[in-house]
Structure 1
C-alpha cells in the first residue's frame, strides 16, 4: 500500500531533502509550509500553505492532505523549527515565547492533529530536536528548552500511543548546512571552526539528517519508538582526540 507522508517545514533544507527521499521511496508527499513560493520547488504531490504553530493551522494541514491525497497521512515528519543564540539574561520575553511557539507548540499541535486523523490506526512520526537539548551548549538556553520539550513530548506520546501501533521518534541534528545556518557558515573560517567541534569532522548535509528521518519512518525501524537519535558526528557522545 502506498504511504502518504505529511512533511511540515518542507521548504527548509532538511524538509526538502526528506521530501525528495520519501518521494523516491514511492510515498505520496504532502509538503506543508507558510510560503507558496518557497514550497514551489519541493518534490511533492500536493503543497499546502498553513501555519502549523496554531491548532487550526495544524488541523488544516492534515485535513488538506487527506482531501488531496485520498486519505489521512500514515507518516508525519515535523521539520518546522527556528533557533536563537543568546544568553538567557539577554533573551527578551517575546523572543523566548517565539522560540517556544515555533519549535514546541508546533510539534505538539501537529502531533495532536495527526493522531486524531489516524483514528486508532498505525503510523510513524519523526520530529526534529537538536544536540543542544542533549548537551549543554553556551548561549542556547531558549532553543535547548524548546527542543528538550520536543524530546519529552516524543517519549510520552510514544508511550501513550504504542498500543495502537503509532511509532513516534526524533532526530537531534548537530550543525547542518541549511539555509537556516547559512549565516553561521558563510565564511571559510566560520565553517572550519564549526567543523572542528565534531569528532567526525566537517559540517553535515541536510541529506544526511533526512537519511536518518526517512529510516525512522520506514520498516527498518519497526521496533523503534520513543527514541531520539543524535545525528551529530559524535558531538554529544564522543570526546575528540586532541592532537
Structure 2
C-alpha cells in the first residue's frame, strides 16, 4: 500500500526538495502552500492551498488530502521564516510574525494531523523543522531561536503523548542551507565563504541534503526513532572546525 505524505511549506527550498524525493520513492505526496499558483511546478499528486498558520487552515489541508488521496500517515511540516536581528532591534510585530509562522503553524498542523489519525487509531510519522540556533547560542537570532526552541519542546512532548498509538514525531535542525530564504545572504561571496568556514565539514549544505534526512525519518527505516531532534549541520552544534 502506497504511503501518503502531506508536505507543508512545499514551495520552499527544503519542502520542494522533499516532495521530489518522496515522489521518486513512490509516495503519494500532497503539497501544501498558501498560494496554489506557486505550487504548480512542485511535483506532487495533489496541490493544496491552505494557510497552516491558522487552525482552520491546518484542518482544511488535512481534509483536502483525505478527500482526494486518503489520510496522510506521514507529515512533513516545512513552513518557516527567519528574523536575524538582536532583540532590542526586533519590533513586537516582527517577533509575533516569527512566532506565528514558525511555532503557531507547527502546533496547529501537528494537532490537525494527530486528530486525523486518532479515529480510527492509525500509526504514522511526522517530522518538523527546527534550526541549529535552538540548540546553540547564535548572536542576533533571539526571536527565531525562541520559535524553533518551542518546536523542539513540542516534538518531545507530542512524541511522549502519542507513542502509545504508534505515532513517531521527530524534527531536523538544519544549519545554513542554500535555499530561496538564504539566497540574498549567500549570493555575496564573502558571506558564503564566511558561513562555510563555520562548519567542520565545510561548505553550505543543500536543501536536498536536509530533505534526505527528513525522508528517512518518515520511512520505516527510522521506526525506532521518536522525540528526537537531528542536527543536519555539518557538525556545527557539536564540534569546532580545525582552524587553519
State TM-score, norm by structure 1.
0.99
Q: 1:198 matched to which residue of 2?
A: 199
CA-atom RMSD, angstroms? 0.6
Does residue 55 of structure 2 align to residue 23 of structure 1?
A: no
Post-superposition CA distance 1:155-184 (Å, at most 9, x none):
000000000000000000000000000011
Deviation of the 1:25 alpha carbon: 1.0
Work out the CA distance in 1 between the residues paired with 2:127 and 2:197.
29
Deviation of the 1:241 alpha carbon: 1.0
Does residue 186 of structure 2 align to residue 185 of structure 1?
A: yes
Work out the CA distance in 2 between the residues paired with 1:64 and 1:198.
41
- Moved >4 Å (runs of 4+): none
Q: 2:174 matched to which residue of 1?
A: 173
Post-superposition CA distance 1:83-122 (Å, at most 9, x none):
0000001111111110000000000000000001012210
Q: 2:154 matched to which residue of 1?
A: 153
Q: 1:239 matched to which residue of 2?
A: 240
Deviation of the 1:239 alpha carbon: 1.1
For 1:76, what is the secondary structure of its paired residue?
Answer: strand
Deviation of the 1:219 alpha carbon: 1.0
Work out the CA distance in 2 between the residues paired with 1:238 and 1:191.
20
Work out the CA distance in 2 between the residues paired with 1:173 and 1:38.
24
Q: 1:111 matched to which residue of 2?
A: 110
Work out the CA distance in 2 between the residues paired with 1:121 and 1:201.
41
Post-superposition CA distance 1:40-76 (Å, at most 9, x none):
111100100000000000000000011111x210000
Which structure 1 segments of 5+ residues have no match? Answer: none
Work out the CA distance in 1 between the residues paired with 2:182 and 2:240.
24
Number of residue pairs matched by the alignment: 242
Which structure 2 segments of 5+ residues have no match? Answer: none
Q: 2:132 matched to which residue of 1?
A: 131
For 2:29, what is the secondary structure of its paired residue?
Answer: strand
Q: 1:66 matched to which residue of 2?
A: 66
Work out the CA distance in 2 between the residues paired with 1:230 and 1:38.
29
Q: 1:82 matched to which residue of 2?
A: 81
Post-superposition CA distance 1:193-223 (Å, at most 9, x none):
1101111100000000000000000011000
Work out the CA distance in 1 between the residues paired with 2:190 and 2:39.
32
Work out the CA distance in 1 between the residues paired with 2:171 and 2:4.
19
